[in-house]
Amino acid sequence: MKTSKYLSLTVGITLILIFISNFIQPVSVAQAPNSDLTRNELIKLIAIAPEQGLNLRGVNLSGVDGRGLDLTNAVLTASDLSNVDFSTTVLVDTVVAIANLSNSDLSDAILFNATLDRANLEGANLQNAYLGEAYLENANLLGANLNGAILLDAYLIGVILPDGSTYQDGDDLVARFGTATNP
């Protein structure tokens, strides 16, 4: 009788330890210690709702490795996305308004029809990014790398350009910043 009690207690404790261990996740080297989510958690969330897109309004993803993820239709409004690696990431129809993307890597990212109104892209790398039909009204691009960026039909009213000037309709961004196209 005593043996079955100890066996039951041992099995119970083992199950509790297994249950708790599922909530403990190692921090990735590319993961900032103050981020709300890791790369693996983002991938799991994307798998759950691939067509609806993620609603991560106000989330802190600072320093996260988001390379190559598909964040189509995601809502990242008012989020801290500073120092994030979104290179080669798909951000089609994504809402990233009023977000902090300072010093983030968006090289080769696809931001078609993305909403980046009032986003802080100061020091961001947008080299070869596709920003066709993107909305960047009053966005801050101070010090951003726009070399090779495609801005076809992008909406840039009130945008602070990499040199600190404000975008004026007709500005030649190809000549000034090496973009692949003008808006």
DSSP, res 148: T
Q: Name the residue ranges covered by the structural domains of the chain.
A: 36-183
What number of CA atoms fall less than 13 Å from residue 138's CA on the CB side? Answer: 5
123 contact partners, CB below 8 Å, separation of at least 6: 102, 103, 142, 143, 144
109 residue type, one letter: A
Percentage of residues of the chain with pLDDT beyond 90: 77
Q: For the segment 139-177, what is each residue's pLDDT rounded down to a tens digit? A: 999 999 999 999 999 999 999 999 999 999 999 999 999
Of the given ranges (19-28, 32-41, 63-72), which has the lowest mean pLDDT? 19-28
Question: How distant is the alpha carbon of residue 174 from its chain centre?
Answer: 26
Round to whole Å and give the CA distance between 52 and 164.
37
Q: Mean of the pLDDT values across residues 90-103?
A: 96
Q: What is the pTM of this model?
A: 0.81
| Distance between CA atoms of residues 131 and 109, nearest Å | 8
What residues contact 56, with CB distance under 8 A and at least 6 apart? 37, 45, 74, 75, 76, 79
Helix or strand or coil: residue 69?
A: coil
Q: What is the largest CA-CA distance in the chain?
A: 88
Task: Kindly state the average pLDDT of the residues 134-141.
Answer: 98
Average pLDDT, the chain: 87
Least confident interval from 15-24, 37-46, 62-71? 15-24
* CATH number, domain 36-183: 2.160.20.80
**How far is 103 from 32, CA to CA, in rounded Å?**
14
